[in-house]
Amino acid sequence: MLEITDDAPAQTPAAGPAPLADAVAANASATVAPTAATPVGPLVIIGSGHAGYGLAEAVRGRDAEREIHVVTADDGGLYSKPALSNAFALGKDAEALLDESALSIERRLNIRVHAFCPVQRIDAEAKRLVTRLGELDYGQLVLATGASPIRIPVEGEAGALLSVNDRGDYAAMRERLDTLGRAARVVIIGDGLIGCEFANDLAQAGHKIEVVGLAERPLSRLLPEAGSAVLREALAAQGVGWHLSRSVASVAAEEVGYRLTLTDRSELAADLVVSAVGLAPNTALASAAGIDCGRGIRVDDHLMTSLPGVYALGDAVEIGGQLLPYLAPINAGLRALAATLTGTPTAVSYPVMPVMVKTPAAPICVVVPSAEVDANWHCTATSDGIEAGAYDAGGRLLGFALVGEAAMAGRSDWVKACGQDQAA
């Protein structure tokens, strides 16, 4: 759950893939750019998250008359998912996270929002959606179906594991914690970005946090070892305990809370267990319709799927073999896709995209170097963290990691330098 500052216009995926610009270029070489045409029929968007509503607004800005429908399985309310992982620190409940209701969005954008209307299947031949509430024809279709939490197998009370991926999940977590009326014992499964953000947020709210993770260090896919060490120590100073290189084997209910047995046979007591091991793109609807899917819904550089007239955007998208579940790539995509959908075919262009991690104990900004290129990290200690550059053998800057307030103060310079080297 990431946020982008003005001087960091986008984000890079956390797993350290090849530079997105290279992947897009390679993908584009096998792609025929769509020809300009006047759109015919309604634009239907499946999904009411940032990607879905952002696209609807961008299209409306270019075409005041286009018939636009947004179809969603939830209430259609607009809120920021990145805010879920620091809402406790901000003192917000689930209702306070809501930015705008579906009715307000309908009126503001002059669109139709079909709330509580899960899509059952896509009839590509007839260009029609079959939903729980009936059928809906489309001229152009956009899949902004998002991603769902990965569930790890555990013995015993597997239902005790709570994933926080929407306002409903957050409300359930708040209710459990508020009902206790005291500081809670919270076990977070996952040492990656979301797990660390929740650990910081809940620890700051006064809860006792234990993090369980398979990696040897936190944020191992994003940071060099020195950066992980700074983060670990900073969160430990907030009271966070670390149980790394292991996972949860079983969960047993007790009179009060749960007893977790880890894979090394150690045990932890918990009032709440939060699973934050990652997200998997929602591809089932697309795959059932015959759309080409891999890790996500595969699209070209114009965000078109393997079915003509059907596009995809957001957390569910795979482009050039990469997943892009971050706000900035989505923003770049929706601007280009809005142009394409209104008759001006436009390929997506992605700038340098730093990841911003919301861990106030040790704030982080990082551009992950390509996993396919040998990169050497050069780390320098700051007053409260580290700044590090990842360089190839020729001294070219491939990425960087800034941990701590002192290092973060220079992030604009690092973004510019990385952009210049990637363009060289």
Q: What does 199-213 look like in DSSP terms, one character per residue?
A: HHHHHHTT-EEEEEE
User: Average pLDDT for residues 410-423, to the nearest whole number?
Assistant: 81
Q: What is the band of 91 on the pLDDT scale with cuts at 50, 70, 90?
A: confident
pLDDT tens per residue, range 116-146: 999 999 999 999 999 999 999 999 999 999 9
Torsion from C-alpha of 322, 2, 187, 74, nearest 10 degrees: -80
The predicted pLDDT at position 86 comes to: 79
Q: Tell me the C-alpha distance between 26 and 320, whole Å.
A: 7
Q: Is 59 exposed, middle or buried (0-12, 13-18, 19+ CB in 10 A)?
A: buried
> Within 10 Å of residue 152's Cβ, how many Cβ atoms?
15
* Residue type, position 386, single letter: I
CA distances from 101 to 75, 97, 181 (A): 8, 11, 31
The proportion of the chain whose per-residue pLDDT surpasses 90, expressed as a percent, equals: 69
Per-residue pLDDT at 89: 74
Does the pLDDT at position 336 exceed 50? yes
224: confidence class by pLDDT, cuts 50, 70, 90: very high
Q: Please state the rounded mean pLDDT for residues 274-285.
A: 94
CA atoms within 13 A on the CB side of 389: 16
pLDDT in tens, 24-64: 444 544 455 555 556 778 999 999 999 999 999 999 999 99
Number of Cβ atoms within 10 Å of the Cβ of 192: 21
Average pLDDT of the residues in 338-353 = 91
Quote the tokens at residue 200.
């910081």
Supply the mean pLDDT for the chain.
88
pLDDT at 266 over 60: yes
Rounded average pLDDT over 213-218: 96
Q: What is the pLDDT at residue 424?
A: 54
Planar angle of CA 120, 123, 124, nearest 5 degrees: 135
The arithmetic mean of pLDDT across residues 235-260, rounded, is: 96
State the pLDDT confidence band at 5, using cuts at 50, 70 and 90: very low
Q: What pLDDT is attached to residue 14?
A: 37
Confidence of residue 287 (pLDDT cuts 50, 70, 90): very high
pLDDT at 408: 95
d(CA 231, CA 234): 5
Q: Is the model more confident about 22 or about 70?
A: 70
CB pairs under 8 A, 24+ apart, for 153-159?
Answer: 154/248, 154/249, 154/250, 154/251, 155/249, 155/250, 155/251, 156/250, 156/251, 156/252, 156/253, 157/251, 157/252, 157/253, 157/258, 158/251
Please report the pLDDT score of residue 7 as a whole number: 36
* pLDDT tens profile 385-409: 999 999 998 889 999 999 999 999 9
pLDDT number for residue 374: 84
- pLDDT digit string, tens, across residues 347-385: 998 888 888 999 999 999 999 887 778 889 999 999 999
pLDDT interval class at 329 (50, 70, 90): confident
User: pLDDT for 293-309, tens place per residue?
Assistant: 999 999 999 999 999 99
Contacts of 180 (CB under 8 A, 6+ apart): 271
Q: How confident is the model over 54-90, as pLDDT tens digits?
A: 999 999 999 999 999 999 999 999 988 878 887 887 7
Distance CA 424, CA 420 (A): 6
**Residue 386 has what pLDDT?**
96
Average pLDDT over residues 206-214: 96
Residue 370 is classified by DSSP as P
